[in-house]
Amino acid sequence: MPDEALPEWLEDLEKIPLDSRLRRKESLKRFNTWRIGGVAECLIDVVNVQDLRLLLPFIRKHRIPWFIIGKGSNLLVPDKNWPGIILHLSGDFKSWEPIEENFNSGKKKVSAGAALADVTFAQKCVPQGWGGMEFLIGIPGTIGGAIAMNAGAHGAETADFLEEIEWMDMEGNLHSTPREKLEFRYRFSELNGNFGRVITRAVLSLKESDPETVEKKILECQQFRMEKQPYNQPSCGSVFKNPPGDYAARLIEASGLKGKIKGGAQISPKQANFIVNLGKASSDDILSLINTARETVLRNYSIDLMPEVQILQSAVYG
């Protein structure tokens, strides 16, 4: 790209004294679990709160299109290039620290960074014998994403275990808010980058158990995933939210769409609420299958399936 086409804000961005790595023209394919997508004008591996405090006001001031990603496990990235900034949390945001308490309540508290992988969190709980969030072993995202989308499985969801959430606004101010002061519902929270609130870490409360019991539960969750889901193919996990009293997978399968192929994408023959990348899927292939599933289920059952997956688009500027 010729110099005259460079964004006006780029020169000022490169002058900010960051510890974080700034990458130009970065492919987004390895930053999402569908392994698709275009190139970002700028991607920053944000390693600490201090850098985030500098970046968010800069983005707001210059009105730059932006988005924040963890593992991109619930994200559809269009094949076209992204003109703004992608913030990818790493470094200090991967922390996991038990919190010592002066009383024995049968609960154990942990401070976890927003970029810590859900799988890692679940694994760290095993030797401690701390239970309740074993379901995270089957969710290929991060703690920040699990909170933002109130991720869940096996009858439990992230909000059930939250005590306190630390987040930053677009002016770089850090806030600490107790769980009861925030709205959570099925696959939703008000703490989301799209709403100008970036989760940095959280305190979670776990149940005191024993390592053998916790490990057994984790193995059961892993076994369920291997048997019921196409875990060895690129996907975003569940594409649609389950409608009240029913299951999106059942409705899609009953509509005769299980196994349907469009280009390089397929509605999984193993689990109909998963769309997998067969190797060379485009974002349009996946969007086509999403629209086909919605339209067919609506026509057959008068139920409008609501997508759980997010589509990469510009967040608010604060």
Catalytic sites, residue numbers: 187, 238, 308
Q: Is 246 exposed, middle or buried (0-12, 13-18, 19+ CB in 10 A)?
A: middle
Provide the token pair at 226. Answer: 């291997």
190 vs 196: CA distance, rounded Å: 10
Closest alpha carbon to 136 in 124, 164, 184: 124
Cβ contacts of 181 within 8 Å, gap of 6 or more: none
Cβ contacts of 194 within 8 Å, gap of 6 or more: 310, 315, 316
Beta bridge partners of 87: 44, 68
Q: Is 182 exposed, middle or buried (0-12, 13-18, 19+ CB in 10 A)?
A: middle
Over the range 122-151, which residues count as b (16 or more CB within 10 Å of their CB) and which as e? Answer: beebbebbbbbbbbbbbbbbbbbbbbbbbb
233 vs 279: CA distance, rounded Å: 9
Region of 119 on the Ramachandran plot (φ > 0 left; ψ -120 to 50 alpha; else beta): alpha
Q: Is 17 exposed, middle or buried (0-12, 13-18, 19+ CB in 10 A)?
A: exposed
DSSP state at residue 314 = P
DSSP conformation letters of 4-19: GGS-TTHHHHTTS--S
- Specify the pairing of strand 184-185 against strand 152-153: unpaired
